[in-house]
């Protein structure tokens, strides 16, 4: 997938918006996939992206969080933490499948399928330029910001 065009997608997001990749041409896009709203790691990761939002914007980069949570849960999560970006609700796992982030997990000895914390950086022409899988939250948003800034400076 890296350095290949990302297939166009349309997805429902918070604030009654619809995100379509083709509409974002000319801007870089960060898609960060996370397991669940209002859980400690996911909250911290989202807050980190929130706190660096202005720096991402200065690097011509828009941010979207993606999980399988409902739109109602997303709206509450976004409001509670004052996220300045939209959250994409993907209950059918369409976007999750496109980016291959659904993985078998083992939680307290029980196997199940869920989102593997992953982030993708798409350039202004719709080409995948950055991919982080099995993300550890600490320092992750800053690492993605550096990549977005470097990519923006090349263009």
Q: Quote the mean pLDDT of the chain.
A: 95
Task: Render pLDDT for 20-49 as a digit per residue (tens, 0 to 9).
Answer: 999 999 999 999 999 999 999 999 999 999
- Round to whole Å and give the CA distance between 16 and 83: 15
What pLDDT score was predicted for residue 105? 80
Beta strands in the chain (DSSP E): 10-13, 17-20, 28-33, 61-67, 86-89, 102-107, 110-115, 118-122, 128-132
Cite the active site residues: 42
Q: Which of 131, 151, 122 is nearest to 7 (CA)?
A: 122
Domain boundaries, the chain: 10-154
- Round to whole Å and give the CA distance between 19 and 128: 17
Q: Are 73 and 37 in contact (CB under 8 A)?
A: yes
- Round to whole Å and give the CA distance between 74 and 65: 10
What pLDDT score was predicted for residue 155? 66
CATH number corresponding to 10-154 = 3.40.30.10
What pLDDT score was predicted for residue 110? 84
What pLDDT score was predicted for residue 28? 98
Q: Which two tokens stand for residue 70?
A: 């409902």
Task: Render pLDDT for 100-125 as a digit per residue (tens, 0 to 9).
Answer: 999 888 878 888 788 999 999 999 99
According to DSSP, the β-strands at 110-115 and 28-33 are unpaired
Q: Which of 19, 34, 35, 38 is nearest to 76 (CA)?
A: 38
Q: What number is the average pLDDT over the span 58-75? A: 97
- Round to whole Å and give the CA distance between 146 and 149: 5
pTM, rounded to two decimals: 0.95
């Amino acid at each position: 997938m890296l350095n290949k065009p990302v297939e166009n997608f349309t997805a429902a997001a918070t604030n009654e918006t619809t995100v379509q990749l083709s509409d974002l041409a000319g801007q870089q896009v960060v898609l960060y996939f996370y397991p669940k709203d209002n859980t400690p790691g996911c909250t911290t990761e989202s807050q980190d992206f929130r706190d660096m939002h202005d720096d991402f914007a200065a690097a011509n980069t828009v941010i979207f969080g993606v999980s399988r949570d409902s739109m109602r849960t997303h709206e509450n999560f976004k409001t509670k933490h004052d996220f300045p970006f939209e959250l994409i609700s993907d209950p059918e796992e369409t976007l999750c499948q496109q980016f291959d982030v659904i993985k078998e997990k083992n939680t307290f000895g029980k196997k199940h399928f869920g989102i593997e914390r992953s982030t993708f950086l798409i350039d202004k022409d719709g080409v995948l330029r950055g991919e982080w899988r099995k993300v550890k939250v600490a320092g992750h948003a800053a690492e993605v910001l550096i990549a977005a800034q470097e990519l923006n400076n090349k263009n």
